[in-house]
Each structure stands twice: as C-alpha cells, then as structure tokens.
Amino acid sequence: MSAVPIPWPVLSRDRFVRLLRNVGQFYEANSAPDSPYCALSGSVTLTHESSGAVTLLTQIDADVPDWSGLLDRYLRALLAGVTDTPPPAPKVYPWLRATLLLSTGSAIGNNPAVRSDNHAAYHLRGHTDAQAEIIHAALTSTEIPNSHAMVVLNPVGGKVGLAAPGDTAVAQRGAIFKVLYQSLWTDPAEDAAHIAWATRLFRAVYAGTGNVPLPDDRTDGCYIHYPDTGIPWPRLYYKDNHPRLQQVKAAWDPRDVFHHPQSIQLP
C-alpha cells in the first residue's frame, strides 16, 4: 500500500493540469484486460485546497511478480512534471489489515450524520486540459472551504473489459476510470451550498456534451452507485441495455410494486 500526498502549495494550475493529464495518459495505455496493472488499484483523491494536499492512494498485490517495480513506475508516471519528490517506500500489510485500514481510516466517512452530494462519470479517455482547469478552479474556490469537497478518480479497466456491453446490465466495459464529484458535510444548514458546488462542477466539466458525460469517444455515461436524479439516467446508466431491462421489469414486476425515483421503468 502506498499513500503519496502532494501539498497544495506545490500544485500550481499548470502542475494540477499536468497531474490529470498524467493520470489520463497512464490509464489510456494500461487498462487492457491483459495489462500487468490489473493487479493495481490507484485512487487519485483530489480534495479541496483547504485539506492541505491531494493524495495518490495505491494498492497492489505483493504476490504479483515485480509488484514494487509496477508500483514505482505507476507513481513516477503520475508524478512526472508535478513534483520532484520521489515516492516513499510502500507499506506491506496482510490483506485484512489493509482492508480494515482503508475502511475505517476516514472520520467523516464513518460518521452516521454525514451528508453528501455525489455525481459520477465513466471515462474512456482522460480529462482534457480545459476540464482539468475547471476542476482546479473549483477545488481552489473559497465558495465552500471544505476539506471534504473532492474529485476522485478510480480505475475500472482491466478484466472488466472482457465482457461485452450487452452481456450484463452494466454496459460501460471500455471505461478506463470513473470520476466522482463529491462534497461531504454534517450541518443541514449547509445543504444548499454544498449541493450547488458539486452539481455546478459536474455540469461545467461536461458542458460540451449537455452538462452530462454522454457516451461518446471520451466519456461513457454515469456510475449507478451514486444516484443522481438530475440526469437522463436510463441512457447514462444503462446505455442500449435499458429497453431489455424494461422487458425484465414487465415480466417480473408488471404492477411496478418495487419502485423508486431511478428504478427501471415499465415499457
């Protein structure tokens, strides 16, 4: 396991753009089902400037041949042109200890009173430099000086791509990573400000495709586990699979007994 903080004072706008460009270029080149980087999980957590630093949190199976070399090359690829500080030595933990560390390491994530607003997108390619500048502006804004406002990039390539888009309900088989635009807070009086920040950022990043990540040559819809009623979700969640899911709905729940704002609709 490796956690590499990049202090915000180091991240000028140009260096921030370079970081996102590096992330996109790495995953565009290393997301195939047979890539040796299938063994690596790298979360790029871009927290608001008030947090003090953004973080590259990476896990890799230490039983994989050359795991330390894979990790080192990954980190150096992402940090190139961003910081001259070499990545620290990784920590090696048993699986359960590493899992517990990740699952209990966030105070706000384990707070039952936490409130959140979330928007997610699948990417087939990295962010453009213009999109990276929009994200940088939002994360350095004084609109909500919230250390738990963030943009998180997580890889989703590798073996996921072995299935065809129509094999399961999840159609996004060619995506290289998913992006989460998120704010977390605890005071209900702050709801409007945090929801506005996260929603405006999400829409601004995808302004060129109708304010959502429409399936095209760069993005591939949205990740369903972050419910978002403000988008054309049947198309963005399921793409061409939605009509088939409607037929399943008609067969098994013709009276629409089981429903919620984003449940599969009857034909």
CATH code for residues 2-231: 3.40.462.20
pLDDT of residue 253: 97
pLDDT of residue 110: 80
- H and E: helices and strands count for the chain: 7, 6
Low-confidence spans in the chain with pLDDT less than 50:
none
pLDDT of residue 105: 66
pTM summary value: 0.94
pLDDT of residue 261: 93
204 near 143, Cβ under 8 Å?
no
- Predicted confidence (pLDDT) per residue in 179-219, tens digit: 999 999 999 999 999 999 999 999 999 999 999 999 999 99
CA 40 – CA 38 distance, rounded (Å): 5
Where are the domain boundaries for CATH 3.40.462.20 in the chain? 2-231
CA 229 – CA 262 distance, rounded (Å): 7
- Predicted confidence (pLDDT) per residue in 80-98, tens digit: 999 988 888 899 999 898 8
Who contacts 129 (Cβ-Cβ below 8 Å, separation ≥6)? 17, 21
